[in-house]
Amino acid sequence: MESYFSPASFLNNSNIYEVNIRQYTNEGTFNAFVEHLPRLKDMGVEILWIMPMHPIGKVNRKGTLGSYYSISDFKAVNPEFGSEIDFKNLIAKVHELGMKLIIDWVANHAAWDNVWTKTNPDFFVRDEKGNFEAPYDWEDVIQIDHANVNEQLAMIDAMQYWVSEFNIDGFRADLAHLTPLQFWIDARTTLTPLKKDLIWLAETEEINYHQAFDISFTWKWMHITEQFAKSKSSLADCLKVLNEYKNDFEKDNYRLFFTSNHDENSWNGTEYEKYGEFAKALAVFACMFNSVPLIYSGQELPNKKRLQFFDKDAIQWQLNDIELHSFYKSLYDLRKRNSCFNKNTTIHFYDDLISKNILAYKLSNNIDEVLVFLNFNMASIVEQIGVTNANYINIFTNMKLETGHDFTLALNQGGYCVLEKII
């Protein structure tokens, strides 16, 4: 679906890192998280997505601390995380390092004790008895009435507040498709003049929402690859989903690929629970495709536990041993220096390897070329690959492959190889 707006040019080869402030440190504050910024910058992180940082409702609260997505005031900062000054300081530090920061935005529902329930109760849906209603089985929130024009104006005003007063760089729209598309178009139309190149990320796979958003989630890919990892689908089935994406979405419709996020980690399991030995290979794919890759707080550690959602459950960092720091750094560095990660790149899959559970493909344009090999077998593999029409270097080992030599692909179970063409 063609957008009404032009996406920021830097999205071509960028990446997003989701930040769970509550669980990121023992303190669970903006100030404590600031200490991690230099490390994330070195790893190559460019866009930080901060999970909702607004005050959390107390009525019908779940757990001891409640859900980030049960918001009591859209124009305030959760004191659990710090003050408004602390948040402004975080944003300033992010910008000093050349990174960007977007915030989670929940436009479909709010806390039972949201400030609007007192000032503007007509902003919410009521039942036949005049009581507020919870959407679905989400007992800690109430449904916003999207037919109320004044509510939409108030919501856009709140979004404008964070852009004009805090200088944020964009929004991740929670369950974007539950709020009418026209609202998001109106919001972006209003906010775009305030700051050029705001980032608009939608948690949806509804194609028409790309009329308002730059990036959308790839839930279908995540589900089919989990089924494949659990032997409930085939690699060919996975390729069908990628083909659907190619046919259905426009080139300017950026897609967010991931192996985990806050919902997946807490409710469905870590990437290691879902994908087992294939977790890292799928992480390579997310970074080495025509995509915007996402990683969640602690994946670089790697964190192998489900984080509690409504209670304190801090990530246990071993800052002298971030095992996957160089792994992600190698992938992100390649995305920055290589022109294959843009809209004009073609992707060619080596179909003869699909039946062998090897996902192999080439990204190429008139300048650069990248070869990706992912072993989705339950054992090691050795294959002779006839792709040596140029000189390549393995981005993880720095081993060079010269023109004219047969390429022997030897990968362990769940192994991966990324080759960059060199002159």
3-state secondary structure of 40: helix
Which tens digit of pLDDT belongs to each residue from 216-252? 999 999 999 999 999 999 999 999 999 999 999 998 8
What gap in Å lies between CA 199 and CA 171, rounded to an integer? 6
Percent of the residues in the chain that have a pLDDT greater than 70, as a whole number: 98
Query: For residue 96, what are the contacts with CB-CB under 8 A and spacing of at least 6?
Result: none
Tokens 């063609």 correspond to 2
Which tens digit of pLDDT belongs to each residue from 269-280? 999 999 999 999
Which tens digit of pLDDT belongs to each residue from 102-131? 999 999 999 999 999 999 999 999 999 999
Strand (E) or helix (H) holding 185: helix 181-191
The residues facing 360 across adjacent strands are: 373
* 42 band by pLDDT with thresholds 50, 70 and 90: very high
Percent of the residues in the chain that have a pLDDT greater than 90, as a whole number: 90
What gap in Å lies between CA 162 and CA 104, rounded to an integer? 11
* 51 band by pLDDT with thresholds 50, 70 and 90: very high
pLDDT given at position 383? 86
> Does the pLDDT value for residue 386 go beyond 80?
no
Structure tokens at 355: 């039946």
What gap in Å lies between CA 212 and CA 193, rounded to an integer? 15
> Does the pLDDT value for residue 404 go beyond 80?
no
Which tens digit of pLDDT belongs to each residue from 121-157? 999 999 999 999 999 999 999 999 999 999 999 999 9
Strand order in the sheet with 358-364: 346-349, 358-364, 369-375, 416-422, 391-394, 400-401
* 384 band by pLDDT with thresholds 50, 70 and 90: confident
* 387 band by pLDDT with thresholds 50, 70 and 90: low
* 2 band by pLDDT with thresholds 50, 70 and 90: low
Structure tokens at 292: 């915007």
> Does the pLDDT value for residue 160 go beyond 90?
yes
pLDDT given at position 402? 78
The per-residue DSSP string of 231-293 comes to TSS-HHHHHHHHHHHHHHS-TT-EEEE-S--HHIIIII--HHHHHGGGHHHHHHHHHSSSSEE
Q: C-alpha angle 91/155/183, rounded to 5°?
A: 110
By 3-state DSSP, what share of the chain in percent is helix, strand and coil, each rounded to 5? Answer: 35, 20, 45
Structure tokens at 235: 């690699």
Strand (E) or helix (H) holding 118: helix 116-119
Mean pLDDT of 291-310: 97
Q: In terms of Cα–Cα distance, which of 213, 110, 99 is closest to 158?
A: 110
> Does the pLDDT value for residue 423 go beyond 80?
no
pLDDT given at position 3? 64
pLDDT given at position 390? 80
pLDDT given at position 403? 67
> Does the pLDDT value for residue 389 go beyond 90?
no
Q: Residue 398: which region, alpha, beta or left (left: phi > 0; alpha: psi -120 to 50)?
A: left
What gap in Å lies between CA 184 and CA 268, rounded to an integer? 29
Q: C-alpha angle 134/136/140, rounded to 5°?
A: 45
